[in-house]
Structure 1
């Protein structure tokens, strides 16, 4: 079986679990249970492997942490928490709980206690903030799982058994990041089926990869990467794929306002084997309460912030003096915070860094305060490229979004426009960027040269003359794919059709006339 076939098999098995076990629970709500239990299994195996390897290296090859008593295991708690960020006693490991789960009438109570024990194992340590509240959305006492304790425990037992049955170790041996891949696949499927309620928190993987690739062109490593509206973390984690997680030297930084998605993002980091000291994810409103003042500037920034949401804007007199927004001399409209996110990212971007931001298309051409912010960006030569994406790529919306690429250190006074609106393939109920299409966009970005009907390098003076409109369609003429028609031949063909139609009508009339004259 090939690697791709193995991955497809894993995906089918996981989605089968997710569908079979959720019952009447909405899929987007039920994801917290599947992902939470998957995470519980991952950290149990991860911790057990970590401790076992340390003992085996000393020559104690028969050692198995899972078989120790809890009392015996306490000896290693402090050192292990310092290294891994958490601790799980042997009796609380996933497989030791799962073995008797379906017969355990106190399963919900035990799981609740175990989850709290895992979180509290980090109290007073550097990893406390990374573990705090991590299992809050895995509510084992929720009526969503069943109206009675017995019903809840039955469903919990089935979830544990199903997750235990996934042969994730086999995939790991074949260099497939099984847990991380399982998470990404589940989030994609849940977002696809959840509509706007779920899709707004997840960026399609191929778009995430393109954004990460754009920000690290010509680089083999970066210090810090950042996403101010990080959702479930899919954008940040693409740097681990594009560069290798060891080449993001100082770690992954992000902030998310939605508490459930904030928890999912931290889980996602762990599932991709990003240890606690390599990520810093904050919870809160980035525009009003940014949490990484002490960590900026960032070498690479990627983001898909919420489209045209409301914010305080000029209703808050303090914001015009905020160093993130004040350089433009104007604030983004209260009803449209898009360019407030853009200014925030520009402010926190390193001098040699790159930011790639998915934007609502209106920010490219709307007037008023947004036009003044575009004027600031163009006049100061911060806009490196504008890329028009195809429609219907994102979950929860069919609009054709765009990417604005920002740089503080450019070699020219021009802006590259790329029209990728036709670069898609239909996959299921959404459009997708294929690998070939993604690479075509990236290659055009790197080349920074004109390509008929696809890419154009425009002097910023031309953009100024066009009232700082940076819509791609204003600078790139779409190719005319219509076929020229010979009007004489067309008229001749129409005449032939009309003549043939007349003959058919005469024949039908003759048949009807014969039938009417038949004597009964």
Structure 2
């Protein structure tokens, strides 16, 4: 299983093979939890494994160069290479060695807290509720063992975007499990790819006012690199009202190494626009259509309603005008 390179794909472009096995293990973990709740438990573990793999690869390099003055336990050596510093108590080897401990939930929570403390960009982002009584610790340990057999963060895995593809697969699975509410965090990959291909965001500011898990940004970055551009040719701006989905987006960008301004916290784009002065070159969005309760009664005189006041019981016209308001003079939206 660990040797699977993830070349098989399903119809939505995600790899098949060990992901199905992981999904079945994760599904056992759910017990009485909603999919909306336990997706953060599972994806949090993937993120932890990814940064641990990346860290261990750099740690091995530095260890081999100790005679030249390099220190494998110096956090600055990792930050210089854009690698997250992982404290000893948060490294995957430590967690897997304790996977069968009844305290494994507490240990994972402590690992997440330690990583946030050492990496300010992840503050208040990682899930820290693995010690909850509703989470079966035996099954959590089994999932940790299973994830431990898959390399997702070394150079080869990054080249094949193994974690990103597994992440997309799981987001699609969670979206299916959550049903009609899944649109809050996941837009199907083929729709995202079509929107990005149509707008072709080679360079400039990209904005998504309802960014969910950040799929539009991820695909835009892929588009730029596929056409010979550089990642820093685009600047990413987003906003998300759901607190857990906002954290999911932050993690999704972090695993890709994408710097993005998603605001300092989750917030409603209508009631508290976090990017008031932004004029974007590209707006890529799949807003929650037909929202009835969007706060329109308190926004009757808003500067964004250039083409008329939107209906109080339907947000569609409000979304369109919000996006037009944030477009640069030659900007495009889709």
C-alpha distance after superposition, 1:207-256 (max 9, x if no partner)? 0111111111xx6x212211100011112211022222834524322110
Query: Is the deviation greater in 278-287 or in 168-177?
Result: 168-177
Partner of residue 49, structure 2: 41
Asked whether 1:203 is paired with 2:203, we answer no
Corresponding residue for 1:114? Answer: 111
Partner of 1:288, secondary structure, is coil
Cα deviations across residues 95-136 of structure 1 (Å, max 9, x unaligned)? 22212321x34322222222112112234xxx3xxx122123
Structure 1 partner of 2:280: 298
Query: Residue in 2 aligned with 1:17?
Result: 25
Does residue 307 in structure 1 map to residue 289 in structure 2? yes
Aligned to 1:368: none
1:188 is paired with a residue of what secondary structure? helix
What is the alpha-carbon distance in structure 1 between the residues aligned to residue 288 and residue 26 of structure 2?
27
**Structure 2 residue corresponding to 1:160, chosen from 120, 141, 144:** 144
| SS of equivalent to 1:143 | coil
Structure 2 equivalent of residue 336 of structure 1: 314
Distance 1:2 1:145, change over 3 A: closer
**Gapped regions of structure 2 (runs ≥ 5):** 10-14
**More strand, by proportion:** 1
Task: Say whether 1:215 aligns with 2:199.
Answer: yes
| Aligned position for 2:12 | none
Q: Structure 1 residues 251 and 64, CA, compared in 2 at 3 Å: closer, same or farther? A: same
- 2 CA distance for matches of 1:169 and 1:293? 37
Measure the CA separation in 2 of the matches of 1:142 and 1:174: 32
Once the 2 structures are TM-superposed, how far is the Cα of residue 323 of structure 1 from its aligned partner?
A: 3.2
Alignment correspondent of 1:30: 38
What secondary structure, in the 3-state scheme, does the structure 2 residue paired with 1:224 have?
strand
Within the candidate set 135, 147, 152, 1:145 is matched to 135
Distance 1:353 1:98, change over 3 A: same
1: CA distance between counterparts of 2:157 and 2:54?
14
Post-superposition shift, 1:28?
Answer: 3.5
Q: 1:179 to 1:3 in 2, by over 3 A?
A: closer
User: Helix, strand or coil for the counterpart of 1:237?
Assistant: helix
CA distance in 2, matches of 1:39, 1:163: 11
1:61-120 per-position Cα deviation (integer Å, ceiling 9, x unaligned): 9x894xxxxxxx2xx235645764853213421222212321x34322222222112112
**Is the contact made by 2:86 and 2:115 (CA closer than 8 Å) also made in structure 1?**
yes
Kept in 1, the 8 Å contact 2:71–2:77? The answer is no
For residue 4 of structure 1, the aligned residue among 7, 10, 14 is: 7
Number of aligned pairs? 320
Please give the secondary structure, in 2, of the residue aligned with 1:48. helix
1:90 equivalent in alignment to 2:76:
no
Contact 2:53 2:153 in 1 (8 A): no
Distance 1:48 1:170 in 2: 8
Which string of whole-angstrom CA distances, capped at 9 and with x for unpartnered residues, describes residues 411-465 of structure 1? xxxxxxxxxxxxxxxxxxxxxxxxxxxxxxxxxxxxxxxxxxxxxxxxxxxxxxx
Verify the 8 A CA contact 1:203 1:304 in the aligned structure 2.
yes
Distance in 1 separating the partners of 2:205 and 2:123: 23
Name the SS of the counterpart of 1:256 in structure 2. Answer: coil
Q: Which has the higher contact order (CA 8 A, sep 6+)?
A: 2
| Unmatched tracts of structure 1, length 5 or more | 66-72, 147-151, 357-520
RMSD over equivalenced CA pairs, Å: 2.9
Residues 222 and 247 in structure 1, CA contact (< 8 A), matched pair in contact too? no
Q: Displacement, 1:12?
A: 2.2
Distance 1:324 1:202 in 2: 26
Contact 1:209 1:238 in 2 (8 A): yes
Residue pair 1:224, 1:248 contacting (<8 A) in 2 also: no
- Measured in 1, the distance between the counterparts of 2:155 and 2:27 equals 22
After TM superposition, give the deviation of residue 159 of structure 1 in Å: 1.9
Rg comparison, structure with higher value: 1
Give the alignment's TM-score, normalised by structure 1.
0.56
Q: How does 1:174-189 map to 2 (within 5 A)?
A: 175-189=159-173
Shift of 1:9: 1.4
TM-score (norm 2): 0.84
Q: What SS does structure 1 have at the residue aligned with 2:328?
A: strand
1:311/1:336 contact within 8 Å kept? yes
Matching of residue 279 in structure 1 with residue 270 in structure 2: no
Q: Is the 8 A contact 1:222 1:249 kept in 2?
A: yes
Question: Cα gap change, 1:48/1:292 in structure 2, threshold over 3 Å: closer, same or farther?
Answer: farther
